[in-house]
Structure 1
Amino acid sequence: MAESTIWWLMAGSAVAVELVTGTFYLLMLAIGLASAALAAHLGASITLQFLSAAVVGGAAIVGWHLLRGRRPQGPGSAANPDLHLDVGETVQVDHWQADGTASVHYRGANWTVFHRPGVMPAPGVHRVAEVVGSRLMVDRV
């Protein structure tokens, strides 16, 4: 079997394992393995093939890690409006209870709302900031 075929099989295996595990870094390693296969097609020695796989794969991993670290992180899942349609909606709080919760009628059902820690509850219109289980964390508008 040709050396390039072995490299292509390893690159394909890395992609297959990545699809099963969801680890994006394996795709970067597959790029390195593909570069070794291309080096084998060009007639490079086995040492240059391994060097190509290591340098290209390692550089791709480091580049992806740095690129990913620079991006600002989005809101957590509880405050992500793409996951919870309630985030950003408004509710009317008429009365707060002594424990810092209130009951509001929202979307045809009664919901328990609470405010952020350290914030004094006041009646009025509030915006849903997070969905925590079956309760809504709200901020005063």
Structure 2
Amino acid sequence: MDDATLWWVLAGLLVAAELLSGTFVLLMLALAAAAGAVAVHAGLALSGQLLTAGLCALLTAGGWAWVRLRRRRASPETDPGVVLDVGQTVQVQGWLPDGTAHVRYRGAEWLAVAAAPHLQRQPGPHRIRAVHGNRLVIEPLDHP
């Protein structure tokens, strides 16, 4: 059997395994096997084929892992696509000694905390930065 055919069969088997398992990394490895097949068609020797497939596997699987890690770092509590309250404004009348404030939002009384300790004692309009349970994490509107 031709080397290119072996690479293409391997790519097909990896795609089938990915469809059965739902593991996206197997799709990245299938792309690497396809890159190995393309390397055969380009006339590279076995070492060049393996190097091409390995480099492609490293870049695609590593890139996918990096994207997932960045997504995981972004907390759903601060994502306006998940929590529709993020980015809305509230009016703070005054801060309590414990560093919290009571604000009216969506027709109810909410407990608010400052996003950073040095932002606390400032009454006025604030932006909701996150929602932690029943607490709003807020920052002043003029804060960058």
Q: TM-score, normalised by structure 1?
A: 0.66
Distance 1:140 1:51 in 2: 58
Q: Where does residue 131 of structure 1 map in the other structure?
A: 131
Count, aligned residues: 131
Whole-Å separation in 2 of the counterparts to 1:22 and 1:84? 27
Residue segments in structure 1 that go unaligned for 5+ positions in a row: none
Distance 2:22 2:11 in 1: 15
Gaps of 5+ in 2: none
Counterpart amino acid of residue 52 in structure 2: V
Would you say the 8 A contact 2:31–2:57 is kept in 1? no
Deviations 1:1-34 (A, max 9, x none): 77655533432343343871233xx433212212
Answering whether residue 20 of structure 2 is matched by residue 22 of structure 1, we say no
What is residue 90 of structure 2 aligned with on the other side? 91
Contact 2:39 2:52 in 1 (8 A): no
Query: Structure 2 vs 1, CA of residues 57 and 133 (structure 1 numbering), >3 Å: closer, same or farther?
Result: farther
Partner of 1:57 in structure 2? Answer: 53
The 5 A counterparts of 1:1-141 are 4=4, 6-15=6-15, 16-17=17-18, 20-23=22-25, 26-38=26-38, 48=46, 51-52=48-49, 54-64=50-60, 65=62, 76-77=74-75, 78-119=77-118, 120-141=120-141
Report the Cα distance in structure 2 between the residues aligned to 1:95 and 1:59, rounded to whole angstroms. Answer: 58
